[in-house]
Amino acid sequence: MSSEQFVQYLIFGIQDGCIYALIGLGFTIIYAVTNIINFAQGEFVMLGGMLSYMLVGGMDVPMLPTVVIALMVALSLGIFFYSLRSRRISKKFAAVAVTFTLGAIPFVLFLFREFARMEIDVAAASILSILMAAAIGAIVYLLAIRTAKRASTVSLIIITIGAALFLRGISGELWGVGGHRTPVYWERPSLEFFGAMVHTQTIFIVGSMVAVTVLLQLFFSYTMMGKSLKACAVNPVGAGLAGINPKMMALVAFALAAAVGAVAGAIMTPKTGMDYERGFVLGLYGFVAAALGGFKSQLGAVIGGLLLGIVMSLVIGLSWGPFTSGYKDVWAMGVLLAILLLRSSRLAEEERIS
């Protein structure tokens, strides 16, 4: 192929890679801190996109799914307050907690419908959707994971699948089955770069990925919360002994992962659109990115994601034999499979420490 085509495919690859990197990042955060494979990660991405779509354009959301959402929020509030109970709980606190919880139902209902009706600028909508996604991540943790207490690994995996199904179904009901798009952040014609066209949104995608990665590195290395999370990831027992509450850390991890996923969703929707089913495949790509990075390393996931995006794009660009665009997903999954099989022969020895 010509050098312009090469650069073009390279740019596509970097753009895709940034998205994969973000999804993989989110997945890695949860896996490192809690050892849970979060199958709902892709849905967080989807939500980032769909929520920003909802906030940008005014729309009337159907009643029933909204009620379900309000119930979930109220339930998780209830569980949260319940977990704060101590031996000598004052009647006043209990009363306040119950009021809050029950009152949350109509409040969230109203709030959600109003949010849906709002029409705000896409950048603000993205930020708001990221925050909402973080809240959803926390809710998923509170309702599904924490209540499962001492569940086995296989149970937890299936629970996250259940959460993913739930989120996907609710999204389908709320926003319909069609695809949606949000306006691009910066309306202007594409830029030229070494003979290839770079869409303005691509700049935001790359920029966001870099920003998020750098921010997370700073967060994990220099803030108390971040360091506590890292401690939990490295040695949960030791962290617990040092006074770090693993449940709180897990909550933060879920919220953070959801937020990071939502960033990916929000920044990709202007360019490629989003529908309620995309979360599944996006999540899969996130797994591949994380797998390339060794499952627990953040920078590894970022590099893995970028590598995945770039290599996939270039190879598809060559369009030679079975390397056509239709097979892109198949090759990505093949990479995941290969990594797992290679790992099993290599790691089997080290894992023998029962």
The least distance separating another protein from the CB of residue 7, rounded to whole angstroms, comes to 28
**332-351 footprint of another protein as x/- string (CB under 8 A):** -xx-xx--xx-xxx-xxx-x
Q: Which is nearer to another protein, 172 or 273 (CB)?
A: 172
Residue type (1 letter), 74? A
**Minimum distance of another protein from residue 141's CB (angstroms):** 12
- Of 263 and 335, the one with the shorter C-beta distance to another protein is 335
Query: Cβ closer to another protein: 224 or 348?
Result: 348
Distance CA 271, CA 283 (A): 18
- Give the span between the Cα atoms of 267 and 208, in whole angstroms: 8
- Of residues 57, 172, 226, 294, which one binds another protein by CB under 8 A? 172
CA 128 centroid distance within chain: 15
199 lines the binding site for another protein (CB under 8 A): no
Tokens of 135: 């809240």
Q: Among 107, 115, 280, 323, indicate the residue that binds another protein (CB under 8 A).
A: 280
- Rounded Cα distance between 252 and 242, Å, is 18
Does 247 interact with another protein (rule: CB under 8 A)? no
- Tell me the one-letter amino acid at 246: P
Which of 152, 178, 224, 241 binds another protein (CB under 8 A)? It is: 152
Name the 3-class secondary structure at 191: strand
Measure the CA–CA gap between 185 and 202, rounded to whole angstroms.
10
Determine the interface stretch with another protein among 83-91, 209-217, 230-238, 279-287 (rule: CB under 8 A). Answer: 279-287
Choice from 164, 232, 251, 263 touching another protein (CB under 8 A): 164
DSSP class per residue in 15-61: HHHHHHHHHHHHHHHHHHHH----TTHHHHHHHHHHHHHHHHS--PP
Decide if residue 35 touches another protein (CB under 8 A).
Answer: yes
> Which residues lie closer than 8 Å to 51 by C-beta, 6 or more apart?
125, 128, 129, 132, 133, 262, 266
Task: Confirm or reject binding of residue 161 to another protein (CB under 8 A).
Answer: yes
Closest approach of another protein to the CB of residue 40, in Å:
9
181 touches another protein (CB under 8 A): no
In whole angstroms, how large is the CA radius of gyration of the chain? 21
Contact (Cβ atoms closer than 8 angstroms) between residue 122 and residue 265: no
CB of 218 to another protein, least distance (A): 29
- Structure token digits, residue 119: 């029409």
Residue 287: CB minimum distance to another protein, A? 6
Q: Considering the complex, state which of residue 98 and residue 337 has its C-beta at the smaller distance from another protein.
A: 337
Binders of another protein among residues 70 to 129 (CB under 8 A) are none
CA nearest neighbour of 276 among 141, 132, 174: 174
| Residue 159 amino acid letter | I
Tell me the three state secondary structure of residue 196.
strand
Given the complex with another protein, which of 86 and 354 has the nearer CB atom? 354
Q: Which is nearer to another protein, 83 or 155 (CB)?
A: 155
Q: Strands (DSSP E) along the chain, which ranges?
A: 191-193, 196-198
Among 58, 169, 195, 238, binds another protein (CB under 8 A): 169
Residue ranges binding another protein (CB under 8 A): 35, 37, 39, 68, 143-144, 147-148, 151-155, 157-159, 161-170, 172-173, 177, 276, 280, 284, 287, 291, 326-327, 329-330, 333-334, 336-337, 340-341, 343-345, 347-349, 351-354
